[in-house]
């Protein structure tokens, strides 16, 4: 018999039972001792010299070796096979072992019976079985059945022909400064421009495993094109086209084209306050005391002073904000400015800047302060996920508060609830003091007048109402505190220096910079805030 993989067989003689080991040839695979041991166990052969088997496997040369297992001859046994099935049940193979001396070879019917016993019914490769029966190879995997794998399903693919995320990270220049002037929020289109194309999903096909059971294909996502204002969808629902010249925007899956209101110079006394349904472009500054509102995006090419800016989308301020403790910037998306000074900033997305000085920054995602300066000094920064800056605080040890790992609105709600609880407690104590006066009179045997009895009832009723209100507010405070405790995924990264005077909070934990730290990434580790390298 010509063979390639190493294999073994049992030889039975009058003076005992022997194990014949055949070495691999022409790059065939070596035997594992565990395979031999499993086989011997299956044949009831237990009394043998394990060390002798291992030694023979390790030192076998080009010629077969024979090892005495024990002095007791066993009964002859026929050729055998083990059936193996892959984890996904799409492939079945058999591993054959030779008969002992005096044992019989398996027939094709017997091989098929082994598969039937293991409930292998689909994709049986009789040609492979026939080949084995005429070219026997032992201790080698013979693929005897193969299932049909499912054809993968594919999601709907939508290709957009405009910048769907125009507010990107500002470009860093060679000198380390950041070019905020190069930011542009708006993607201009013309009537007739194709805005998006859809490639339909492919549902795929289910497969069949070797047990004859259906194998479902993967799940897929179906998307549709959503035309908004000034956008037309084709009859086959696969193409969006602009109906007008303007700015194209993708918002919550909907594509719409809107006119952009262009302010030629400043927003000041000459323009008054501005409120617009679409996007607003200001080529100059927004002066102190004025308000600019837009349901879409706002881009300001100059400076924002102590003004109010509110956008349903993103806000870009190319030069920065000199808030004078009067400026309020609100955005439903991201806010990006060259600097923030003495300003109040609130964004549902990210806040990106070249520097932040004595400002109150609240954002629902991350605060990234980059560029040559890249500092946060003074004020308070609250965000849900992540803060990154070149430096925090300064040599003057200016008090600077950074809080991450919890949504800013939770902090705001907690700040409002605490005084309410205190107010209720004060009212509760005040009413109790009145009731105590009446209780003392009753103890002294004095009778209360009808109007006094009425007051007692009213006070008791008011106490019950205050109890209910106090319980509701305290329960909500507990909920907020629990949510803050759970917000442990936030972190703070300082690329250069963090100074004394900086207070870091991640979730409910607080860490104060006691000495100057350099190149640190602050995270919660093992229940406390620790600094690590990066």
Which tens digits make up the pLDDT trace of 110-127? 999 999 999 999 999 999
> What does the pLDDT read at residue 480?
67
The number of folded domains in the chain is 4
Residue 496 lies in a domain: no
Is 252 a member of any domain? yes
Going by their DSSP bridges, the two strands 502-506 and 400-404 should be labelled as parallel
| Angle, helix 33-42 to helix 50-59, in steps of 10 degrees | 140
Please state, in angstroms and rounded to a whole number, the distance separating the CA atoms of residues 357 and 364. Answer: 20
Residues 6+ apart with CB under 8 A from 86: 92
Task: Say if 261 falls within a structural domain.
Answer: no
Residue 321 to residues 309, 317, 376, 398, 464: CA-CA distances in angstroms?
11, 8, 14, 20, 49
pTM beyond 0.95, yes or no:
no
Whether 115 is in a domain gets the answer yes
**Same domain (yes/no): 228, 173:** yes
Going by C-alpha positions, the residue among 288, 277, 364 that lies closest to residue 328 is 288
Residue 237's closest CA among 183, 197, 279?
197
In a domain, 127, yes or no: yes
Which tokens is 205 given? 């096909």
Rounded percentage of the chain residues whose pLDDT exceeds 90: 60
Distance CA 500, CA 198 (A): 55
Lowest mean pLDDT among 179-188, 258-267, 290-299: 179-188
What range defines the domain where residue 59 resides? 7-70
Query: Structure tokens of 479?
Result: 């909920």
Q: What is the mean pLDDT of the chain?
A: 88
One domain, residues 85 and 54: no
Rounded distance, CA 275 to CA 147, Å?
65
The torsion defined by the Cα of 175, 181, 185 and 191, in degrees rounded to 10, comes to -120
20-50: per-residue pLDDT in tens? 999 999 888 999 999 999 999 999 998 899 9
Same domain for 166 and 241: yes
User: 510 in a domain, yes or no?
Assistant: no
Residues in contact with 70: Cβ distance below 8 Å, sequence separation at least 6, in sequence order: 16, 17, 45, 47, 48
pLDDT surpasses 80 at 203: yes
* DSSP code at position 286: B
Q: Tell me, yes or no, whether 131 and 205 share the same domain.
A: no
3-state SS assignment for residue 40: helix
Shared-domain flag, residues 65 and 116 = no
Same domain, 60 and 90: no
Shared-domain flag, residues 133 and 163: no
Residue-by-residue DSSP string for 301-343: SSEE-S-EEEESS-EEESSEEEEEEEEEEEESS-EEES-EEEE
Q: Are residues 140 and 182 in the same domain?
A: no
| The pLDDT value given to residue 183 | 58
Write 290-295 long-range contacts (CB < 8 A, 24+).
292/267, 294/261
The mean pLDDT of 450-461, rounded to a whole number, is 80
pLDDT, residue 202, reads 95
Average pLDDT over residues 261-274: 86
Can you tell me the distance from the alpha carbon of 70 to that of 62, in angstroms, rounded to the nearest whole number?
25
214-223 pLDDT, tens digit per residue, is 999 999 999 9
What single string gives the DSSP state of each residue in 108-174?
HHHHHHHHHHTT--SSB-HHHHHHHHHS--SSSEEEEEE-BPPBPPB--EEEESS-S----PPEEPT
Q: Is residue 361 part of a domain?
A: no
Residues above pLDDT 70, as percent of the chain: 93
Tell which of 224, 256, 288 closes a domain.
Answer: 256
Q: Which of 199, 222, 256 is the last residue of a domain?
A: 256
One domain for residues 62 and 122: no
Q: Are 177 and 252 part of one and the same domain?
A: yes
Q: Is the pLDDT of residue 182 over 60?
A: no
Last residue of a domain, one of 117, 146, 175: 146
At residue 204, the pLDDT reads 94
Tens-place pLDDT, residues 141-168: 999 999 999 999 999 999 999 988 766 5
Same domain as 237, residue 185: yes
Asked whether residue 395 is assigned to any structural domain, the reply reads no
Beta strands 502-506 and 517-525, pairing class: unpaired
Do 416 and 480 sit in the same domain of this protein? Answer: yes
């Amino acid at each position: 018999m010509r063979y390639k993989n190493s294999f073994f067989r049992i030889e039975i003689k009058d003076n005992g039972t022997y194990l014949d080991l055949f070495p691999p040839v022409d790059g065939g695979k070596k035997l594992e001792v565990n395979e031999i041991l499993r086989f011997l166990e299956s044949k009831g052969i237990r009394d043998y010299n394990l060390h002798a088997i291992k030694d023979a496997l390790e030192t076998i040369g080009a010629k077969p070796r024979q090892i005495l297992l024990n002095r007791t001859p066993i009964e002859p046994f026929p050729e055998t096979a083990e059936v193996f099935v892959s984890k996904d049940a799409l492939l079945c193979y058999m591993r054959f072992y030779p008969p002992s001396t005096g044992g019989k070879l398996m027939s094709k019917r017997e091989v098929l019976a082994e598969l039937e016993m293991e409930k292998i019914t689909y994709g049986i490769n009789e040609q492979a079985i026939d080949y084995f029966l005429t070219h026997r190879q032992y201790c080698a995997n013979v693929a005897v059945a193969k299932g049909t794998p499912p054809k993968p399903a594919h999601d709907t693919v939508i290709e957009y022909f405009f910048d769907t995320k125009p507010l990107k990270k500002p470009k860093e220049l060679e000198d380390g400064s950041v070019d905020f002037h190069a930011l542009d929020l708006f993607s201009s289109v013309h009537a007739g421009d194709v805005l998006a194309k859809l490639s339909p999903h492919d549902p795929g096909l289910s497969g069949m495993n070797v047990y004859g059971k259906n194998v479902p294909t993967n799940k897929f996502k179906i998307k549709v094109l959503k035309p908004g204002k000034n956008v037309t969808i084709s009859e086959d629902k696969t193409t969006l086209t602009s109906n007008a010249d303007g700015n194209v925007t993708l918002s919550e899956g909907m594509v719409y084209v809107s006119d952009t209101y262009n302010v030629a110079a400043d927003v000041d006394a000459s323009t008054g306050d501005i409120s617009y349904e679409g996007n607003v472009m200001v080529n100059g500054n927004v002066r102190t005391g004025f308000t600019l509102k837009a349901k879409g995006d706002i881009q300001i090419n100059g400076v924002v002073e102590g003004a109010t800016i509110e956008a349903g989308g993103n806000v870009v301020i190319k030069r920065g904000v000199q808030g004078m403790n009067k400026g309020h910037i609100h955005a439903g998306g991201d806010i990006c400015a060259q600097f923030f000074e003495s300003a109040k900033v609130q964004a549902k997305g990210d806040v990106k800047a070249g520097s932040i000085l004595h400002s109150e920054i609240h954002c629902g995602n991350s605060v990234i302060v980059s560029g040559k300066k890249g500092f946060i000094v003074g004020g308070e920064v609250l965000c849900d996920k992540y803060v990154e800056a070149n430096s925090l605080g300064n040599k003057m040890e200016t008090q600077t508060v950074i809080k991450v790992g919890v949504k800013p609105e939770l902090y705001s709600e907690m700040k409002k609830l605490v005084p309410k609880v205190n107010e209720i407690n004060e009212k509760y104590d005040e009413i109790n003091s009145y009731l105590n006066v009446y209780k003392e009179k009753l103890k002294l045997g004095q009778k209360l007048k009808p109007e006094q009895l009425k007051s007692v009832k009213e006070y008791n009723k008011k106490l019950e109402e205050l109890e209910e209100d106090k319980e509701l507010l305290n329960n909500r405070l507990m909920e907020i505190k629990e949510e803050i405790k759970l917000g442990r995924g936030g972190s703070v990264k300082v690329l250069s220096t963090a100074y004394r005077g900086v207070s870091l909070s991640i979730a409910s934990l607080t860490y104060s910079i006691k000495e100057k730290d350099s190149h640190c990434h602050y995270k919660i580790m093992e229940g406390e805030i620790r600094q690590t390298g990066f």
